[in-house]
């Protein structure tokens, strides 16, 4: 700290505008900048051949069959993107989401095809069951004290199996998203027992029960058939609870932690980063954040490029080291022009 008297530390000696006058100087003093390698692109894979179905509420994003996914990743790699997170839409759903565990499942097929074509890219897999269960919840159900709910402890070994199957198929990082208590510990033990000590866990540590997931549910066909996810995802009113969730996941062995969504939770991102400055922090710029901006831009109400970059800068400035965003391809394109 500077102990000198502060007598001259004000106008007219101090003029903050001096550093804003020259555009190159503004570049030099900028505290937060975005790079293409900050971004992870989410992708949705479904069965079939030649399927490239645009998600109506998320322009530029598609449900893709494996062959089309390979092409899509190829064009993203050409733009300089190398990190991807995969979500699967299976051919069949049941009460426990058993197709998620199948080595011939849709995500496993996608992993093998992508691994074969692009050995250099990073493949992250979302680990949950809501896309695979016929009821759309994040694990098998049980009735506890008269209420139907996800059976936490019954979900844990299934999550571990899902992660091992994905690791075997070529996943580089597993990302459990179901907010089950003990999920990181169960997955770490499962991966290690199967010989996958090298696979990091990116935990959706503080995931909120958010209305901003609306368009994603169309994309992933994962809308709950009854009730909602408030018995496992967090209440939007809580920030201290997020710190507790993160601390527990780190104690269980999480390598990277996530806050989701991002834009309405910048304070949470900031507090998590301050509490755990040494741990890599991911933020998920979710579907609703993307869609509302696209809709406003389509109406001519907002400048799409400037607004997108401002939002993503705010997420990084708040403390995110990496950002999952549907805008990744747009940003990569803009950064070339
Ligand atoms: Zn889920």
Q: Is 169 left (phi over 0), alpha (psi -120 to 50) or beta?
A: alpha
40 with 126: CB under 8 angstroms? no
- Strands 62-64, 52-54: pairing is antiparallel
* Whole-angstrom distance, CA of residue 308 vs CA of residue 288: 13
Structure confidence at residue 218 as a pLDDT band (50, 70, 90): confident
List 53, 93, 207, 273, catalytic entry = 207
List 93, 260, 273, 294, catalytic entry = 260
* Whole-angstrom distance, CA of residue 169 vs CA of residue 101: 11
pLDDT in tens, 254-282: 999 999 999 999 999 999 999 999 999 99
Kindly tell me if the per-residue pLDDT of 22 is higher than 90: yes
pTM above 0.85, yes or no: yes
pLDDT in tens, 31-61: 999 999 999 999 999 999 999 999 999 999 9
Q: What is the average pLDDT score of the chain?
A: 96
- DSSP line for 156-182: HHHHHHHHHHHHHHT-SEEEE-S--TT
Q: How many angstroms does the Cα of residue 337 sit away from the middle of ligand 1?
A: 37
Q: How many angstroms does the Cα of residue 127 sit away from the middle of ligand 1?
A: 8
Write out the residues surrounding ion ligand 1, Cβ under 5 A: 128, 130, 138, 178
Exposure letters 104-140 (e unless 16+ CB within 10 A, then b): ebbbbbbbbbbeeebeebebbbbbbbbbbbebbbbbb
Q: How many angstroms does the Cα of residue 130 sit away from the middle of ligand 1?
A: 4
Kindly tell me if the per-residue pLDDT of 74 is higher than 60: yes
pLDDT in tens, 87-145: 999 999 999 999 999 999 999 999 999 999 999 999 999 999 999 999 999 999 999 88
Task: Tell me which residue of 124, 135, 134, 132 sits closest to 158, measured CA to CA.
Answer: 132
Q: Is position 260 annotated as part of the catalytic site?
A: yes
* Whole-angstrom distance, CA of residue 41 vs CA of residue 162: 21
279 with 269: CB under 8 angstroms? no
Q: How many angstroms does the Cα of residue 128 sit away from the middle of ligand 1?
A: 5
Q: How many angstroms does the Cα of residue 222 sit away from the middle of ligand 1?
A: 8
Q: Is position 207 annotated as part of the catalytic site?
A: yes
Q: How many angstroms does the Cα of residue 233 sit away from the middle of ligand 1?
A: 9
Kindly tell me if the per-residue pLDDT of 7 is higher than 90: no
Q: How many angstroms does the Cα of residue 272 sit away from the middle of ligand 1?
A: 22
């Amino acid at each position: 700290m500077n102990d000198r008297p502060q007598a001259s530390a004000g106008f007219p000696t101090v003029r903050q505008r001096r550093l804003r006058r020259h555009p190159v100087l503004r570049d030099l003093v900028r505290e937060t900048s975005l790079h293409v390698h900050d971004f992870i692109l989410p992708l949705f894979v479904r069965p079939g051949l030649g399927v490239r179905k645009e998600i109506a509420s998320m322009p530029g994003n598609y449900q893709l069959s494996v062959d089309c996914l390979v092409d899509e990743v190829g064009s993203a790699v050409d733009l300089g993107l190398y990190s991807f997170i995969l979500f699967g839409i299976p051919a069949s759903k049941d009460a426990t989401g058993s197709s998620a565990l199948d080595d011939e499942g849709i995500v496993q097929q996608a992993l093998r095809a992508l691994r074969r074509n692009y050995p250099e890219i990073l493949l992250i897999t979302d680990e949950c069951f809501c896309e695979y269960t016929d009821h759309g919840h994040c694990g098998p159900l049980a009735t506890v004290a008269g209420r139907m709910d996800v059976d936490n402890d019954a979900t844990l070994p299934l999550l571990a199996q899902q992660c091992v199957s994905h690791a075997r198929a070529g996943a580089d990082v597993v990302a459990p998203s179901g907010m089950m208590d003990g999920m990181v510990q169960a997955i770490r033990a499962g991966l290690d027992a199967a010989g996958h000590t090298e696979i990091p866990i990116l935990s959706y540590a503080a995931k909120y029960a958010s209305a901003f997931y609306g368009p994603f549910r169309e994309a992933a066909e994962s809308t709950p058939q009854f009730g909602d996810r408030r018995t496992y995802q967090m209440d939007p009113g809580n920030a201290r609870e997020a710190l507790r969730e993160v601390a527990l996941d780190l104690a269980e062995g999480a390598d990277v932690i996530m806050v989701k969504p991002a834009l309405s939770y910048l304070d949470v991102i900031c507090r998590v980063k301050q509490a755990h400055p040494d741990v890599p922090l991911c933020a998920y710029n979710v579907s609703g954040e993307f869609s509302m901006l696209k809709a406003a831009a389509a109406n001519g109400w907002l400048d799409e490029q400037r607004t997108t970059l401002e939002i993503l800068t705010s997420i990084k400035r708040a403390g995110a080291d990496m950002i999952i965003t549907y805008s990744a391809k747009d940003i990569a394109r803009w950064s070339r022009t």
